[in-house]
Structure 1
Amino acid sequence: MVAAIVATVIIRVVGVIDWASVGAALGHLAWWQPLVLVAVLLVRQFLNALPLALYIPGVGPFRATVNDQLGIMMASVAPPPGDMAIRVALFRAWGVPVPQALAGTTLNMLTFYIVRFGAPVIGFALLLVTGQEPGLRWLDLLSVAIAVGILAALLMVISADRTARAVGDRSGRIVRRFRHSVDPAAWAEACATFRHDASARFRWGFPRSLVATVGMLIADLTLLLLCLRFVGLDTTEISVTEVAIAYFFAYPFTVFFFSGLGIVDALIIAALVEQGGPAVESAAVAGLIVWRVFFIGGPIVLGLISLAFLRTTIRGVRVEAERTG
């Protein structure tokens, strides 16, 4: 279904890409511009990891950033739960209690999903300010509804032990309709345990984490804008607001494989072509290529660098875990 929609968008809106023109647009990049993009990427990754420091006692911003890069890298190259395993191993090496680490990591993930699916709210606000009609973008209210649902469920779980157990039991019963091996009682106990480990830092950390994660989106949007400007797409062709609208409505689709590679790109390019006409297509494609190199490749490289420096630490934790059984 999604593949069919993306194919239709590419064929009907974007059309046939002139790869020679895309190459010419990439030729606009100056030697110093990737350095600027790296700096913005570092800010983005710092803000993306900051909720870990806010949710988990004893984990500062630097450690949170290193842990997050390793987790992202593992999620990109290995199946789940490889990313969680390396995160927990590193937290254990730092002396962080595993239950608190797992609760903080889960809160970090839920905060990110709330912001990810809630991103179209900013898009709708920009449409209102600019006086544009939403059109088919009304469908993005479904994404907003998912964000509201996740937020409501999280607040219910955190509110009281009884409510946490009820949410876990009800969720388990729903999932058991599709997977008969699911035990609702185990889900209820897991929610109660999560509430116990997460509630202490939630009231203080959650609003700050929301701000940090929205800041991450702004940094990522800045990265995209710079990529487009560096390949020659200037403000007379596509304004900052138009890029922002395209970005915020496409962002929920990063939930798909490799951060929505292909889907997100097609939606953003289609929106830019719709606003600026066919003349902006080649530069838009070139800018999205550069953005994807940093968006996907950057965190993987940072993760590999972190792994190189922490390999001995992680190996020592694994050896100790195997020795103690």
Structure 2
Amino acid sequence: MTEHNTPYEGLADDLGDHRWAFGTGFTDPLAGVDARIPDGVDAGALAAYCLMLGDDALIYSQRLQAWMTRAPELEEEAALANVALDLLGQGRLLLARAGQAEDAGRDEDQLAFFRDAYEFRNVRLTEHADADFAEVTGRLLLFATWRLALCEQLRGCADPVLAAIAAKAVPELAYHRDYAAQWVVRLGDGTDLSHARMQAALVTLWPYLDELFTDDPVELPGIAVRPATVRAQFDAVVDTVLATAGLEQPDAAPLAPVARRTGRHGVHTEAFGYLLAEMQSVARAHPAATW
């Protein structure tokens, strides 16, 4: 067992026990970690922020799982499965921390499986249903580049639990970004058909970007990272990948908010309802079951 100076450092350990990926009823992923909210940190804001980030990871993980038998090669199915499991792990930790900070008796399973669509706070990019492998890799590049920039800054968060979760996520997201970038370059700089498909994927995905960089009142200094502050870092990475792939940045209008409300406010796309119904069906049919 590795010795740590603080209990939070242990969150980044890979103990080789990933049984949680295959069922329910396992221990709290934050068991043994000091759950006290640090002085000066608003518990409500912390809960809301962790919920937002946790929903992003959970919903995107669920969406990626649909590609387990649809990727072009077995190796890519394994790679996407690993990405989905990484995001599921991040989602578990973040939802568990949201439940602790909220202090209303809801654990990670209750937050994941027993909320309605309007209660979810994920950005709408995560719920998009990819039409082909070009959209899978293009969306992963955009999401992972954005989330990596956020988590790199969150390692200095005033809440040590959230800071440790972010530190654990950084190497995972760096892999996700680099994996996606390699495929975007391969497709963009490949055949005429693969180039056209990759360019079309970017046109489809680009309207979702503005929402990623829209600040929210819950993102208070000391707890959260203002998304607008990572736009330059995001653009530098994505522009380099697109230039290497011979792709053009689309000129696409942002996805319109509904009455100035977005996914962060519980307003989602039509596709989200179907995704949520599939993800929650077993838990809602058998609310007390474990397996």
TM (norm. structure 2) is: 0.34
TM (norm. structure 1) is: 0.31
Greater relative contact order (CA < 8 Å, ≥ 6 in sequence): 1
Structure possessing the higher radius of gyration over alpha carbons? 1
